[in-house]
Structure 1
């Protein structure tokens, strides 16, 4: 008996050594579980086992052998999801097993193990618990390390996207007597999919635009950065809005794999001819206020990136514009909801814009934001919000 006891202890020590080396060698989870399975079969004479762990919020069977029923597709009964720590091995009537024990790491239940052995385990309980704990804690540490690496990678990706997005927006906007432009941008996440721009074409002409990409976060910001680079390159080559939009649509179609789209509005104003040419590509209604007249700039085409070629496209020209005001925005503004699930809507925005022509565009933006905050109450914003205002005084 004494030799048998020593032999068992020797087997157990060798098993623990093998498992420890496997953990130190950073073997994959599946390899660790295979070592665990064969150690129990060979050293403890366990003929039936099922090991359950949590994956994606669900309890799933990771190791199963010896049972008539395949348990890999069988969920863990609810009564075993609340097993308390330090219970040790207890009796059970689940399936074909006679014993069950929980595996904890600190205060977290890592695993529930069902077993049936040829003999009573007795003093080998401690070895079974120790072996299971080593394996499961190693797997949990791997999961946490992987999660930390993923979070770190996402954080670095986010930092890059934020830097990229900062380059999207113009560093300075004109604030001179004949042209004032003011912009406001509030991303819903750290990075968003809204974009606005001002491009001086020559001494008499400038282009102002606003855009909104479907989706949020890093992918949206990167797609929009590609869009901005394409726009600026195209404006250097041509001043034809139809040609610019056609090329932008093709670029977005290819970059977004026809899965993402961009709404876009662009206008070119000529101080010499007092002519505004614009195109609206599925964007919100852009408001032009000329004296007491309010015009909605809706003509153009559909969203960019969904169809190539575009099914239709047209630009619109408005002549004789000397002193006027344009207000552009993204749908995060009008689609802000209050506590009664009502949206802020276009009519409320238009009511503010229809008041006296603003002398200070930043004051106008503050007025709109105050109305928006009062309207939404305790509700949070659920989308990016961008406003772009242009005041032209071409006397």
Structure 2
């Protein structure tokens, strides 16, 4: 008679386990979110076992995260060190193994592995008699298998989500790269009295660097450079909108004060004050022998004067788009005498670091200019790029580097 009862109990136990596994499998197949899977798991264990305590710790990014907790006396939100000591034993632990640890209130701790990788630990406790303890012990393999199924399903969800995010990110970068390439001028002038050369070194991600030039007439030329905060498609689209607005404005007026106020308004409206643009623009008038400029929060370009001196062009205003109205604006002016060279650059140049955490800095740029104050723009940029490559060594760039050298004379 006793054998028949035990057989019946074992049959009911297996049926209970099978139904629970089918329910969990159906939930996984229905692609329920992670929180729902944890809730079903929680309900399944608490409904089938007479538990007073239940806790699930999941190993994520080298840390332990508390995913489920019921009936515990202590707060187990921060148990990394204690858990790491516990799992060194790599086996199912009973109350005698847990005495003296941070988890002494539990009767059982079940580590869950997948391909030798520890995914989680299930803690069970709060049983009141020997029958309930025996029930838990009879379910140990089932609990371990159930937890493994849940954790592997959740890991697969994370991996699928990560792959999808990577695909979306790659597509965004491809779009942003194409947009950015369209912003750069198709050709650069190389005349007797006015020539330009430029270079763009992209970082791993696509940023918002931009340079341009525009011929107003035979004697007046515009050169400019900009850097938008942020990366990817939003930065590229904001810079694209900025370029379109700027070019439209410059065909109507070369009054830099009017231009700056207008493009600031355009950037502020487009970015809702969330992004800004550093910007430098220079109007080179070979007939008047005058260079007029505005620096809107950009790295000060260097102007190599005819006497060998180097002037920093830092007069202007704040970055564009930070405020609806520009609070102040100073127009910079300098006379053009003989041959002069103007170097525009983004902060990726001066803020490049070598393997010893040293910054390239503006001083090294000035040294290069002092030694190459009469060379053509293409050779000057080549000297700068050779210098930066030698400086950073094997360390990758931390930002885009954009350079524009403009040489002119009257």
TM-score normalised over the length of structure 1:
0.89
For the residue of structure 2 that corresponds to 1:237, the secondary structure is: coil
* Matching of residue 237 in structure 1 with residue 252 in structure 2: yes
Residue in 2 that maps onto 1:113: 122
Superposed CA RMSD in Å reads: 2.6
Superposition pairs of residues 274-313 of structure 1, within 5 angstroms: 274-294=289-309, 295-313=311-329
Residue in 2 that maps onto 1:364: 380
Residue in 1 that maps onto 2:166: 151
After superposing the two structures, state which structure 1 stretch, 74-83 or 14-23, moved more: 74-83
Alpha-carbon displacement from aligned partner over 1:130-172 (angstroms, at most 9, x marks no partner)? 1111111111111111122122221111111111111121111
Unaligned 5+ segments in structure 2 are: none
Find the aligned partners of 2:45 and 2:298 in 1 and give their Cα distance: 65
For the residue of structure 2 that corresponds to 1:112, the secondary structure is: strand
For the residue of structure 2 that corresponds to 1:277, the secondary structure is: strand
Q: 1:77 to 1:300 in 2, by over 3 A?
A: closer
Find the aligned partners of 2:156 and 2:64 in 1 and give their Cα distance: 18
* Matching of residue 59 in structure 1 with residue 69 in structure 2: no
Find the aligned partners of 2:79 and 2:329 in 1 and give their Cα distance: 56
Residue in 2 that maps onto 1:16: 21
For the residue of structure 2 that corresponds to 1:6, the secondary structure is: helix
Unaligned 5+ segments in structure 1 are: none
Find the aligned partners of 2:72 and 2:205 in 1 and give their Cα distance: 51
Residue in 2 that maps onto 1:350: 366
Alpha-carbon displacement from aligned partner over 1:326-371 (angstroms, at most 9, x marks no partner)? 1112222223344555433333322322345444322111112223
Find the aligned partners of 2:328 and 2:316 in 1 and give their Cα distance: 8
Q: 1:189, 1:217 within 8 Å by CA — same for their partners in 2?
A: no
* Matching of residue 75 in structure 1 with residue 91 in structure 2: no
Alpha-carbon displacement from aligned partner over 1:234-258 (angstroms, at most 9, x marks no partner)? 2233222111111121222333443
Find the aligned partners of 1:83 and 1:320 in 2 and give their Cα distance: 75
Residue in 2 that maps onto 1:253: 268
For the residue of structure 1 that corresponds to 2:164, the secondary structure is: helix
Alpha-carbon displacement from aligned partner over 1:53-83 (angstroms, at most 9, x marks no partner)? 1356532221122334464x35355344662
Alpha-carbon displacement from aligned partner over 1:114-143 (angstroms, at most 9, x marks no partner)? 112522234422211111111111111111
Q: 1:290, 1:324 within 8 Å by CA — same for their partners in 2?
A: yes
Find the aligned partners of 1:56 and 1:217 in 2 and give their Cα distance: 26
Match of 1:25 among 26, 30, 35: 30
Alpha-carbon displacement from aligned partner over 1:97-130 (angstroms, at most 9, x marks no partner)? 1111111222322111111252223442221111
Superposition pairs of residues 130-279 of structure 1, within 5 angstroms: 130-279=145-294
After superposing the two structures, state which structure 1 stretch, 321-330 or 332-341, moved more: 332-341
For the residue of structure 1 that corresponds to 2:12, the secondary structure is: helix
Find the aligned partners of 2:220 and 2:83 in 1 and give their Cα distance: 73
For the residue of structure 2 that corresponds to 1:50, the secondary structure is: strand
* Matching of residue 44 in structure 1 with residue 49 in structure 2: yes
Q: 1:271 to 1:158 in 2, by over 3 A?
A: same
Q: 1:104 to 1:356 in 2, by over 3 A?
A: closer
Q: 2:292, 2:331 within 8 Å by CA — same for their partners in 1?
A: yes
